[in-house]
Amino acid sequence: MKNLIRYRLISVAIGLFLTIAALEFFLRLLGFGFNVLFVLPKNKGADYKIFCVGESTTFGIGASNPMLQNYPNQLENMLNKNQQFSVKKIQCFFDQTIGQNTSEILMKLPRYIKKYNPDLLIFMVGINNWWNLDKSNILLFNKKRYIPEFALKTLIFLDRFRSWKLLKWVVYSLGLIKERWNYYGLNNPTQEDVRRLWDGIRNRYNCNIFEEIAEHDMREMMEICRANNIRVIICSYPIESGRLYYIHKSIAQKFKVPFVDNFETFKRLSNKEKYLSKNNFGHPNEEGYRIIAENIYRCIIENGLIK
């Protein structure tokens, strides 16, 4: 009897392992297909090159056609229509990685610079730090925290796997977030609802550590840009991002680089929901990305970043 139970437990464990392995393989295959379907802009030898650093909000999630309607592409079109520049061709590049944290971006930044040799870098980063710990620098800031280091190392390791991230996304989407929406009696959350949701999460968990990571990583990115003589613009997100918003502003002030306040712009809109995607929570639609592109365009013109 004991041997039978042991055999069944081993069979279940092997079956579960194979199922997870198959799911992981399938998700990575989907990722490969995503990269094939959404081909990044090829370097056409432009006279002035801009690299837009970020994640889903930079890639254009929420727009009906992300590759054409994201803010980098709309910004590129606006700049090339300006006949006052001495440069003949301006090109904007961006990464297609969705959901990456600032530590991952920091590791990739030297590679970005070597590949594209940009004249200008535009940053809109940090909003994924709280849920994605893959390669995160969180251990640098956890010395006086309540989270055991072993638990953090385990979470960092698990976040390498897409099946684990999928599980977390399902839990967050159908569990915590859905529960909060129901509490507020909402079916279609607004930006104010997002703010209250975020405040609820911050009150329940210690989220300052994730913002400290963003501040550390962004400072390191700025030093890399300074060492490579690359000009920089820092942008805030168009939606509520908590203390991250003030970190963006303070780093821009410290390193004396322009700050584009997308959050204030969207906050002043009379009908904000018109510029946000209905199907991708928290992301702009193509009209929202147009506003972001216009904000950055004005910043480039006012600061004389392109002669």
Spell out the domain ranges in the chain: 1-37, 41-133+207-302
Place of tokens 């990464």: 95
Classify residue 84 by burial, with Cβ atoms within 10 Å: 0-12, 13-18, 19+.
exposed
DSSP 117-179: --SEEEE---TTTTT--TT--GGGG-TTSSS-HHHHHHHHHHTT-HHHHHHHHHHIIIIIHHH
Place of tokens 């956890």: 142
Structure confidence at residue 142 (pLDDT): 72
pLDDT in tens, 102-124: 999 999 999 999 999 999 999 99
Q: What are residue 260's DSSP bridge partners?
A: 235
pLDDT in tens, 135-148: 788 877 776 565 67
Structure confidence at residue 34 (pLDDT): 57
pLDDT of 49 higher than 80: yes
> Which one of 13-22, 215-224, 264-273 scores highest in mean pLDDT?
215-224
Q: Which residues 6+ apart lie within 8 Å of 243 measured at CB?
A: 208, 211
pTM of the model: 0.79
Task: Tell me the C-alpha distance between 50 and 112, whole Å.
Answer: 11
Task: Tell me the C-alpha distance between 99 and 41, whole Å.
Answer: 20
Pick the CATH number of 41-133+207-302 from 3.30.70.600, 3.40.640.10, 3.40.50.1110, 3.40.50.1000: 3.40.50.1110
Q: What is the mean predicted confidence (pLDDT) over 190-194?
A: 56
Structure confidence at residue 205 (pLDDT): 46
pLDDT of 21 higher than 60: yes
Structure confidence at residue 123 (pLDDT): 98
Residue 165 vs residue 98, higher pLDDT: 98
Q: What is the mean predicted confidence (pLDDT) over 13-36?
A: 68
Instruction: Look over the chain and give the mean of its residue pLDDT values, rounded to a whole number.
Output: 81
> Which one of 12-21, 115-124, 275-284 scores highest in mean pLDDT?
115-124
DSSP 235: E
